[in-house]
Every structure is written in structure tokens, then in C-alpha cells.
Structure 1
């Protein structure tokens, strides 16, 4: 059975392996023992505290195959970003150079560094190991975050963002970074990527250009990748676009990948998932459902086509109830994963 649950320190070896497999550019999982163990400890603390407002909490989930004990992927939520470490973006906008005397009207795109998303919630750290990138694993891993947020909205901001990994060349180097490195930095991308991953972002404020950058003055290779996603990230972006996330011109400083946003209450999986009481019964084949309990520290979610709606009750098997640590008469949240599947 597939089970999504909060990460624990026992999952460290699996998390390190995922960090290695995710490669350069996946800054939320640095290949650094101290930082990964801190991330796990921070997640355990976040799940364990009682709070009704977003703060410096980070929730990290793992997808486990309960039959083998293998960890297949991760998924995370940051409750409120940019509070302790600045969150930087470029914002792509348009300025107009206009002269009535010369009858010239030239709209020009510019990139301006900003901290506009300070305080919002962020979904992050979505990674599914390559052998399992089929079926509904990725959809389940992505959507379960919204089910958790739907049950605990006071823990999160009204605005939710996701930073998408940007384009890279055959050497895993972002063309956009290569321009930045040439003019503003003297370190290579893996070094900068690692520093960001371990939270050392002071060099950004020290070395990044402080004035708007005219896009037309950049090399074409850099211009072409602004707002474009890495080929491995395209499926994740599609999932989020189906949830209602949109791009408003904000891109990553180093790889120019897009940041997308949505209002929490308008996210499709928040609106389409429902709380319901359960009854225990025999297996009955039905739609593929993501089912979660409403707990925080003891949060559990699974995926099954062996549950069926019966009026205002969801009939589940004893195996599902055991996986979710619930009993007959308890409430769960469910989401139909078949709807909108592509």
C-alpha cells in the first residue's frame, strides 16, 4: 500500500538518496548531512506544535511503499517564506520609452530583483524517484499537500506559490546563470546552488545587480529561457496549472524558472476535496481516491480504488482504516484522482 506521512529521522538515508538523485538546481534538498537532518528535525517540530497562524514552519512528507518500506518520493510545504532568510525573485515587467516629438513608442521588458513573496506559503520539495514516475504517484504526491492545507488553513497564508526549476543545458548548467556568472559572480553554478540550498544567501544581496536589467541586452540564450521550466519539471508545472496556479512574471534569480501562485481557497484540490465520515466494509471497486486523516503530527494519506461513497458515508476497507489510523465513524478527507486525470 502507498502511504504519505510526515518524515522522521529514520528516513534520513532515503532523503539523502533523493537529494543525490534530484541533482543540481533542486535547492530545497542540498546534499549536506547537517542540513538534511536539520530539515527533518524542523519538519518534526512543525508537525508537533499547536499553532493557528503561519510562521517559520516547514512540513515535509514522504511517500512510502508499506510492503517494502521503500521511500519513493517527497513533498513539502513552507508555511511562510522569507521571514528569516530573504526570498529573492526577478520580476519581469514592461517599461515604455516614449517620445511624442520623435513619434517613438518602445515597450521594453525589464527584470527587477524583489522580495514580493515574503510571507506567503510555498509548496516545494516535490520529487518522485524515476522508477515510479508513472500512474498516479506524482499526482497523489502533489495533491496531498492541498488536502493537508484544506484541513488546516490557519497554518498557511492565503497565497501559495511554487518555484519551478528552470532550463538547463546538456551539462546541467542554466543558460541564464552563465550570463550572471560572466558579469556578476566568480563562482560556478554548483557552488552557488549549494550555498542557496544550505541557506547561505548573503552573497545574493552583495553581488546581484541592484538596478533593473533590460532583457533585450541579455544574450539570446539567456532571454530564451526566462520563465521556461526544466524538462523534468514540466509535468509538475502542468499539475499546478490544472490546480489554478498562474505565472505573474516572477522568475528565479539563477535559472529564470517561473514562480507560479494561487489563492489557497481557490486551489482546485482544496475546493474539490471533502470531509466525510467513514464506515468499514468489504472491498468495493470504485474511483481512485486520495484519502487522508485530519491529523497533524499523525497525518496519514493513502490512495485506493477500494473505497466507495454511500450517501454521506465513505465505505473503506479495514486495511485503509489501519493505514490511516482511524476507526468507523471518524472523518477523513477524500479527493477523486480520476477527475481531470490526463
Structure 2
């Protein structure tokens, strides 16, 4: 494998833009808009330049690079805390139970309530892997590299983490959930609303969205059918999140109805299992395939490597992965099992 995860730079803009055009819509964190993407890269640069710890409203954009060709083939993002610049809205799916003594019947109504419960959470999102690279565990590398970055900069992040999964999008690029609910209040189709949100934020939701709970029985059949379901292309991502330790806590996206997964950072498998070690030697072959990372802030790197631990606690790496990280004997790195 010749891929590493690294921090995105200003000269990655064109590549990110080309990848954004491949997402197929509904991918709010990776809009096909150069201005919006450039702003993300500027936020990343500003976050990396900050000295000291403490939680601030920051964004880290990372990219997957083939070190042999120099091509960028994937990307992902970390938002240090959501809901600081504007409210972070979600729908919470719940049930209202009512009993009629006269009728001798109990009624249970499913409801969607607009909430800002998840404000202050870390968000991992914006994960996209080029369709031609969806093999060799690169999706796992993209996803899990974010957790090791958080671990390496733990004081800059809180305790709860969320991941919004894209909801169901129809063949025409529309959202059955949006069309059956919010679209009736906003006078715009899903594509228009999604593009506006990606570039300008979702404050317009606060201005126009009804604050009272929505009974799902009042929605169209097509809207009800997709509540809490991920896009077909996101099912594997949902399984990865569940394996990592995220739960489906009943929160759904206000735009497309996709599920929002919730986890506790220190309980995520990658973070809980990670260890900091010293490289004692390199070798050509052999060892267990593990996630390995090194560096801080702009120097952060992460890749798959083959680790071998000796009886005396010595840790060696295959020479190729050590070279990708720029790691020499005596240097420290973090490692985590495949999980």
C-alpha cells in the first residue's frame, strides 16, 4: 500500500473540487463550490496555526494521498465542536403515548421534534473515497485516521462525537424526506436547499422551520419510508461506525432524514485500543497489519503498516510504512489494531 492520510493544504483545492463533483448530491460537507471549499482549507490552516490547547470552533480537513503518484484520492473532516457559529439542528425521533379510558385504547404516535441536543459535539464527516480506490481498507484508513488525530490532540476536543450519514436520495437527485416535510415550508427543492446550506450554513432553518413536533403519520408514504435510513452508498459507513462504537440514538438529519450516529470519544475502539510506542527497528516483511500514525497538527500522518512486537517490548515496522511516515528508529508513533 502506498497511501497516507495527511492534513489538506491550499494546493489541494482543485482536487477536492473534482472529488466533490463525484458525490452525487446531498453531501453537505463537501460541496462542489470552490469558494466554500477554499474557506474550509483556510479554517484548517488557522486551526493548525493555533498554539495551546482548549476547545474552539475549528475544522480539520484531511486527504488521502498516493505517495507514489502524488494523487489525492479521498478526504475526510473533523469539526471540533458543532453549534457554536449557528445552532446545530437535528430531528429527534420519538413516540407520544396517549390513552383513552372511554375508548379503552392506547394510541402511540411517532413524532419528529426539532432539537439542538447535539450542540457541542465533535463531528466527523465529509468522508469521500474516489470510486476507483474502494479497496485495500482505504475506507477504514480514512475513517479511523480521524480518531487517532483526535487522540493525539485530545485537549482540543470534547467527549461526545457524532457522524451524520447521508440520507436516501432518489434517481433525480431529490430527497423524499425533504419533499415530504421541510420543502413545504421553504419553497425550494432539495438540491437548492442543500447547496444553500453547504455554502451559507443552516440558520435559515431557524428562521423558517416550524418549532412544533411533526407527527410522522401526516407525512407522505415516501417521506416516512426513508426516515433514519442511510443512502445505499452509506450502508458500509454505517456498519463501520457501529463497529467503532457509535450508536443510532434516534437523531436524523433535517434535510434528508439520514441517521446521525452518536458515540463517546474515549470509548471508540480505535482510541481505546491505541498505544504510543517507540520504533526500535525496521524490516522488509512480516508483522500484523495495524493503523499507525505520527506527528502533530500540520505534520500529522497516518497509514497502514505491518507491526511486529518482540518479547522484550521492542516494536519494529516494515520499512515502507516507516518511510511513508518519515519515521526513523527511536521515533515515537501511535498504533491501533484493525478492529
Normalising by structure 2, we get a TM-score of 0.95
1:264 aligns with 2:265: yes
User: How far off its partner does 1:181 sit?
Assistant: 5.3
**Secondary structure at 2:99's aligned position in 1?**
strand
Provide, for residues 76-112 of structure 1, a one-character-per-residue CA deviation record: whole Å limited to 9, x for no partner: 1100001002211111111112222332211111101
User: How far off its partner does 1:317 sit?
Assistant: 4.0
Partners of 1:6 and 1:44 within 8 A in 2? no
Partners of 1:252 and 1:258 within 8 A in 2? yes
Partners of 2:47 and 2:59 within 8 A in 1? yes
Moved more, 126-135 or 291-300: 291-300
Provide the rounded CA distance (Å) in 2 between the counterparts of 1:182 and 1:60: 31
Alignment of 1:174-185 (within 5 A): 174-180=175-181, 183-185=184-186
Provide, for residues 203-249 of structure 1, a one-character-per-residue CA deviation record: whole Å limited to 9, x for no partner: 21222122100011111111110000001111111100001100111
User: How far off its partner does 1:294 sit?
Assistant: 4.1
**Secondary structure at 1:21's aligned position in 2?**
coil
Aligned twin of 1:172: 173
RMSD over aligned Cα atoms: 1.5
Provide the rounded CA distance (Å) in 2 between the counterparts of 1:221 and 1:32: 30
Partners of 2:168 and 2:232 within 8 A in 1? yes
User: How far off its partner does 1:134 sit?
Assistant: 1.5
Normalising by structure 1, we get a TM-score of 0.95
Provide the rounded CA distance (Å) in 2 between the counterparts of 1:88 and 1:181: 13
> Which blocks of at least 5 consecutive residues in structure 1 are unaligned?
none
Aligned twin of 1:84: 85
> Which blocks of at least 5 consecutive residues in structure 2 are unaligned?
none
Partners of 2:290 and 2:335 within 8 A in 1? yes
Provide, for residues 29-59 of structure 1, a one-character-per-residue CA deviation record: whole Å limited to 9, x for no partner: 1111111111011112212212322211111
Alignment of 1:180-195 (within 5 A): 180=181, 183-195=184-196
Aligned twin of 2:325: 324
Provide, for residues 249-292 of structure 1, a one-character-per-residue CA deviation record: whole Å limited to 9, x for no partner: 11011110000111001001111121111123221312212110
Provide the rounded CA distance (Å) in 1 between the counterparts of 2:23 and 2:156: 28
1:24 aligns with 2:32: no
Pairs aligned (count): 337
Alignment of 1:142-221 (within 5 A): 142-180=143-181, 183-221=184-222
**Secondary structure at 1:36's aligned position in 2?**
helix
